[in-house]
């Protein structure tokens, strides 16, 4: 009978965010796989956990996953932790989970902090639908392409970003996505926690010329109707087309439906566009 793989979330800054269940599981498993053994030993010492640690990081992920799966297949229990937050979220974990599932082992998540979730719930932007894009690419061309790819997703967008790239990324966001509302969530749960919100241009102005430090999650508003490709002038021509069709004898509903189809919009999109421009 295979053992169990536990995915254990740990704090993203504030040690008091460690869950009782995380402590219990980390005490009980046969081995704990972590990114950096020295870093994790400090965390474990704080909670008087003296369990065996092995390294499991992006550079030894493939080999180490094989070794850990052999242990699980032999009936042992393994916990994975990352340097901070939830394993598998912009951190190693996925490969091991995939292989553990393939081996028929139980995979048990032990929930806790995730930086992007904390950022998005505190940003003041809608949380009904959220797109998490991990780290934005570090090269400008790729970053802009990535932003263009996600520009139309009807969800609040969240990314991780390094502090030394924040200003350049904000400038690219402004250029590619337009001046949307946003929030920079810095050092969440730590002493210097800061959640700076406003439009992208306001946030850019706030951080301009400063040396930005700490860990950052960037939250950006979804595309609004105003930034719809058919906004402004095109909305007026959509309205013109509807009246033209009405003059040709169509009732308003049918004219709207036809004009929407001609413009490649759904009926509800066309309706929203025309109504918000009235």
Interface positions with ligand SAM (CB under 6 A):
12-13, 82, 84-86, 89-91, 114-116, 160-161, 185, 187-190, 215-217
Residue nearest ligand SAM, CB atom distance: 85
CB 81 to ligand SAM: min, Å: 10
Residues sharing a CB contact under 8 Å with residue 109, sequence separation 6 or more, in sequence order? 6, 7, 9
**Nearest CA among 136, 138, 160 for reference residue 148:** 136
| Smallest gap from residue 94 Cβ to ligand SAM (A) | 12
> CA 9, 13, 17, 18 torsion: positive or negative?
positive
SS3 (DSSP) at 245: helix
Q: Which is nearer to ligand SAM, 194 or 240 (CB)?
A: 194
Closer residue to ligand SAM, CB minimum distance, 118 or 256: 118
Q: Are 23 and 128 in contact (CB under 8 A)?
A: no
Q: Is the CB of 31 or the CB of 216 nearer to ligand SAM?
A: 216
Nearer Cβ to ligand SAM (19/227): 19
CB of 9 to ligand SAM, least distance (A): 7
For the bound state, the minimum distance from the C-beta of residue 88 to ligand SAM, rounded and expressed in Å, comes to 8
Please state the φ and ψ torsions of residue 207, each to the nearest 5 degrees. -95, -10
Nearer to ligand SAM, 158 or 242 (CB): 158
The Cα–Cα gap between 190 and 84 comes to 12
Angle between helices 61-73 and 94-102 (to 10 degrees): 30
What is the smallest separation between the CB atom of 114 and ligand SAM, expressed in angstroms? 4
């Amino acid at each position: 009978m295979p053992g169990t793989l536990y995915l254990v979330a740990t704090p993203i800054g504030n040690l008091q965010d460690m869950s009782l269940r995380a402590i219990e599981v980390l005490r009980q498993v046969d081995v704990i796989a972590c990114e950096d053994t020295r870093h994790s030993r400090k965390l474990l010492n704080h909670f008087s956990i003296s369990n065996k640690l092995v390294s499991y990081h992006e550079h030894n992920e493939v080999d180490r996953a094989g070794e850990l799966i052999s242990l699980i297949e032999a009936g042992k229990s393994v916990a994975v932790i990352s340097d901070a937050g939830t394993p598998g979220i912009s951190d190693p974990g996925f490969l091991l989970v995939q292989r553990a599932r393939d081996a028929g082992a139980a995979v048990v998540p032990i929930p806790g902090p995730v930086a992007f979730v904390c950022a998005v719930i505190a940003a003041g932007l809608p949380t009904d639908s959220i797109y998490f894009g991990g780290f934005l690419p570090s090269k400008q061309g790729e970053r802009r392409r990535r932003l263009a790819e996600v520009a139309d997703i009807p969800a609040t967008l969240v990314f991780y970003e390094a502090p030394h790239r924040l200003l350049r990324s904000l400038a690219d966001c402004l250029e590619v996505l337009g001046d949307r509302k946003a929030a920079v969530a810095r050092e969440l749960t730590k002493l210097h926690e800061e959640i700076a919100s406003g439009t992208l241009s306001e946030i850019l102005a706030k951080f301009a010329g400063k040396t930005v430090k700490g860990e950052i999650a960037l939250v950006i508003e979804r595309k609004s109707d105003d930034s719809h490709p058919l906004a402004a002038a095109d909305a007026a021509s959509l309205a013109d087309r509807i009246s033209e069709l009405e003059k040709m004898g169509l009732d308003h509903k049918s004219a709207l439906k036809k004009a929407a189809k001609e413009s490649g919009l759904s009926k509800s999109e066309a309706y929203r566009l025309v109504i918000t421009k009235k």
